[in-house]
Each structure stands twice: as C-alpha cells, then as structure tokens.
Amino acid sequence: MRLSRYFLPTLKENPAEAQIVSHRLMLRAGLVRQSAAGIYSWLPLGLAVLKNIEQIIREEQNRAGAVELLMPTIQSADLWRESNRYDDYGKEMLRITDRHDRELLFGPTNEELVTDIFRSAIKSYKDLPLNLYHIQWKFRDEIRPRFGVMRGREFLMKDAYSFDIDKEGARQAYNKMFIAYLRTFACMGLKAIPMAADTGPIGGDMSHEFIVLAETGESEVFCHRDLVAMDPPGADVDYEADLQPMIDDRTRLYAATDELHDEKQFLQIPEADRLTARGIEVGHIFYFGTKYSKAMNAVVTGADGKDVPVEMGSYGIGVSRLVGGIIEASHDDDGIIWPDSVAPFAVGLINLKTGDAETDQACESVYARLTARGVSVLYDDTQERAGAKFSQMDLIGLPWQLIVGPRGLKAGVVELKRRQSGEREEMSIDAAINKLAG
C-alpha cells in the first residue's frame, strides 16, 4: 500500500477525551474514530488489525473443533421471552420496534438464538458433541462506555456455544475452549491468565475469565506469580485426548478476580509469590448446563431412547477489546508496537527523499519485490520531512521499518529497524529483502 493513496488520518496532539494509553494511541494512529458514545468506526489501519485478530481466533477455534456460522445482529424479542431474559436483561438491551410493531432487539449475546437453531436441527445424541461459534457485533447499552474500544456499546465478540449429551461431555467441551484460549492469546503476544469466575446459580468450577495484566485494567486481580510465567500449550495439542490434566495444571494455583477473591486462601501463598494487579478481561468461558435448553425445550434423544435437555456452555472473546488490550501491553513513548502476528502491515518502507530519482526507483523496486514475496508493506512515498515520516512510522507501530535514502544508496545499503527493540542495521537491499521475506 502506498501511503499517498491510503487513508491514515493520524493526529499530532493527544486527544483530550482519552484517559488511557491505548485509547490515546488508537485515536492518534488513526485506527478508529468515535461516531457516538461507545460506538466507533474502524478506519483502514484499525480494521486490518481487527481482521488479523479475528483470523487468529478463527484458526484456534477451528483447530479445537468448533464450527463457524454467522447469526444476525438483530433478534426477535419472542426468543428472549422463551428464556425469560427479555425483561431481566434491563436497560443494557437495545430494543427496537419494526414497522409492523414487532419487537426486535440488537443482540447483546446469542444463547437464545443459537439454542433455537440447535433445537430445530439436532435431535439425536449421535450428532453431538457440537460447538458453534460466530464473530459478530454486539450491542450493550453500557451505562458508562469508556476507555475507547475497551468498554464500548457496540463491540465485536467471538462467541461459541457448546452442546453435549451429558456433563462429562460438557466438561470436555469446556476444556477444549480453555486450551484454545490459552493458545489464541499467546499467538497475539499476550499473556492471559485464566482466573476463577462467578458461576452464579449453576455452581461448580467451570467459569473462567482470561485476564491480561495491565495497570489500566478494570478488574483487580490476585494470583500466584508462577501463572504469569507458564508457557501456552503447543500447536500439536490433541483436542481429542483427556485435557483435564492440562487444565488441572493451570488451575491448581490461586487466581481470582476481585469478585471471587478469597483473602484467606490468597494469604496462604508465600508472600514473594503473591501478585496483586489490575487486569483486562479478554475472554470468558462458562458452563451453564441446561439453563437455556430446559427453558427453550432443546432436547436430544440419548442412547437409551429417552429425551434429555442438552448440556451447554458459552465462550466469549472480546475481539475489538483485544485491539486496545494488545496496545496496553505493547507500546512505548513513541507509539504502538504491534506483535508480528496482528500487525496491519509487516513493514513500513520509508523513502527519505521522495522526488529524488534514484531513491524513488530503489524504493519502487524494493516495494515491488517485497510485495511479490507476500510481505505486506506500507510505503511512505509522501513528500513529508524525514523526521515526520519517522515519528509517524513509530506511532503506528509496524514491526519493521526499512529506510531508504540517497546517502545509503551511494554506499549500497539501506537501513532496517526493528520497532520493538529500536535496533538498526545497515545492509544491502538484497539482504534486507531476504531477511523480511525469509
């Protein structure tokens, strides 16, 4: 992409309305633009990151055996009456009436809709287990939307729903998502710690929030320090094997958000290992048994010929919140530092003297060669001063900067800078291309 043909409205000044660094940087780097309180347009650079995050989530969901579909944003109120949630949900639900006076709503979550799809199609235990997910916009009329996309009103969520014939099946479904989440967040360069969360009237131990530690997080969290250092499961994890030992490994040590915090238990951890911090909830997995299947009559025939309500769980990831979460975890004074896996472009190519024939020609050639080898490049071909180009590139945080100027070209070199470490290296054009495409 040529910057001169792109849409990248960056800001020089810090926007006054932004209280936390990710919100500030998202506005300054031209990732999003607020259209109403808690509602954002995703500008091209932000959209590219959002899509990359989506893709990582999708790959790990698929690997764990979940199946993607797409449910609508607008739902019928009738379904929510069946589960008795239409009135209970309160003011967070955006209610809509159509021209025929039918009551609709903008979905804040999808348990009812997915249960309706399930019950219309699945009748036998032989079709289980099943896990259906989608990546779709949600609307919750949050009383206090804040921190940009972290707590929005309209936000993108991945939500998966598992269906099993019995509780053991549901536990395996839960464990699969637990492992998939550890891998998903690690692929984005994040350390997300699973923490015990409230199970409500269902009880038991099958509700976890995945928390990224950050000073600006909304939740106060308490855990054993060793959890921070734990490595994620590898790509070769066998989802059909018994995952319980892996789950036990991760849940043995104390980890809870303020909601469930038990100070007595926490104090039993040796003081040096106790970690009290703030965190961002990026994911939440939850087993809720037959809550919706009973209310909505979603039954399947078991091996013994008897009908039983299906056992369910739901598994959310805050896709749009993650964009902010990743920035909170990865930035410096100059701007964003994207992990390679989610970066909107891999390389920022900086022409130090646009208009100089030799430099232009070298940049064009590098741009074409990198693009041909599948490397995504944002080529700054504008007339800006070098200094302005450098600071804008640092601000938008692409992992690599390739700097091409007349002086270097005379000596046969270009400069390659790693955004994260600030390390710079001079090398030939061929060496730079091989390094970036290798």
Ligand X SMILES: Nc1ncnc2c1ncn2[C@@H]1O[C@H](COP(=O)(O)OP(=O)(O)O)[C@@H](O)[C@H]1O
**Rounded distance between C-alpha atoms, residue 406 and residue 147, angstroms:** 43
Q: 4: buried, middle or exposed (CB in 10 Å: 19+, 13-18, 0-12)? A: exposed
CB of 195 to ligand X, least distance (A): 12
Q: Which two tokens stand for residue 374?
A: 């599948």
CB nearer to ligand X: pick between 107 and 405: 107
**Rounded distance between C-alpha atoms, residue 45 and residue 8, angstroms:** 7
Which listed range, 26-34, 200-208, 261-269, 317-325, lies at the site for ligand X (CB under 6 A)?
Answer: 317-325
CB of 359 to ligand X, least distance (A): 44
Which contacts (CB < 8 Å, 24+ apart) does range 89-96 have?
A: 91/141, 91/143, 92/140, 92/141, 92/142, 92/143, 93/140, 93/141, 94/139, 94/141
Which listed range, 216-224, 318-326, 402-410, 418-426, lies at the site for ligand X (CB under 6 A)?
Answer: 318-326
CA contacts within 13 A on the Cβ side of 175: 21
**Rounded distance between C-alpha atoms, residue 403 and residue 353, angstroms:** 10
CB of 109 to ligand X, least distance (A): 6
Per DSSP, 4 falls in state G
Decide if residue 138 touches Mg ion (CB under 5 A): no
Decide if residue 152 touches ligand X (CB under 6 A): yes
Q: What are phi and psi of 194, to 5 degrees?
A: -70, 130
Per DSSP, 322 falls in state H
Question: Judged by CB under 6 A, which of 54, 281, 328, 394 binds ligand X?
Answer: 281
CB nearer to ligand X: pick between 210 and 367: 210
CB nearer to ligand X: pick between 281 and 311: 281
CB of 27 to ligand X, least distance (A): 17
Decide if residue 331 touches ligand X (CB under 6 A): no
Q: Contacts with ligand X: how many residues (CB under 6 A)?
A: 15
Residue nearest to Mg ion (CB): 284
The footprint of Mg ion on residues 284-343 (CB under 5 A) is 284
Q: Which residue has the tokens 């054009």?
A: 429
CB nearer to ligand X: pick between 179 and 352: 179
Decide if residue 30 touches ligand X (CB under 6 A): no
CB of 108 to ligand X, least distance (A): 8
Q: Which does 324 bind (CB under 5 to 8 A by kind): ligand X, Mg ion, none?
A: none
DSSP SS3 for 262: coil
Q: Which two tokens stand for residue 282?
A: 């990026």
CB 216 within 8 A of CB 22: yes
Q: Which two tokens stand for residue 230?
A: 């734990």
Cα angle at 48 between 47 and 53, to 5 degrees? 95
Question: Judged by CB under 6 A, which of 59, 141, 142, 334 binds ligand X?
Answer: 142
Q: Which does 82 bind (CB under 5 to 8 A by kind): Mg ion, ligand X, none?
A: none
Which listed range, 115-123, 148-156, 378-386, 418-426, lies at the site for ligand X (CB under 6 A)?
Answer: 148-156
- CB neighbours of 59 closer than 8 A, spacing ≥ 6? none
Q: Which does 417 bind (CB under 5 to 8 A by kind): ligand X, Mg ion, none?
A: none
**Rounded distance between C-alpha atoms, residue 326 and residue 413, angstroms:** 34
Q: Which does 321 bind (CB under 5 to 8 A by kind): ligand X, Mg ion, none?
A: ligand X
Which listed range, 112-120, 152-160, 166-174, 245-253, lies at the site for ligand X (CB under 6 A)?
Answer: 152-160
- CB neighbours of 221 closer than 8 A, spacing ≥ 6? 193, 195, 211, 213, 255, 256, 257, 258, 276, 277, 278, 279
The footprint of ligand X on residues 55-114 (CB under 6 A) is 109
Q: Which does 360 bind (CB under 5 to 8 A by kind): ligand X, Mg ion, none?
A: none
Question: Judged by CB under 6 A, which of 188, 282, 326, 393 binds ligand X?
Answer: 282
CB 348 within 8 A of CB 404: no
CB 179 within 8 A of CB 159: no
Question: Judged by CB under 6 A, which of 316, 335, 397, 399 binds ligand X?
Answer: 316
The footprint of ligand X on residues 154-213 (CB under 6 A) is 155, 157
DSSP SS3 for 166: coil
CB nearer to ligand X: pick between 154 and 311: 154
CB of 156 to ligand X, least distance (A): 8
Decide if residue 158 touches Mg ion (CB under 5 A): no
What is the torsional sign of CA 275, 279, 284, 287?
positive
Which listed range, 158-166, 171-179, 180-188, 278-286, lies at the site for Mg ion (CB under 5 A)?
Answer: 278-286
Which parts of this chain interact with ligand X (CB under 6 A)? 109, 140, 142, 151-152, 155, 157, 281-284, 316, 318, 320-321
Q: Which residues bind Mg ion (CB under 5 A)?
A: 284
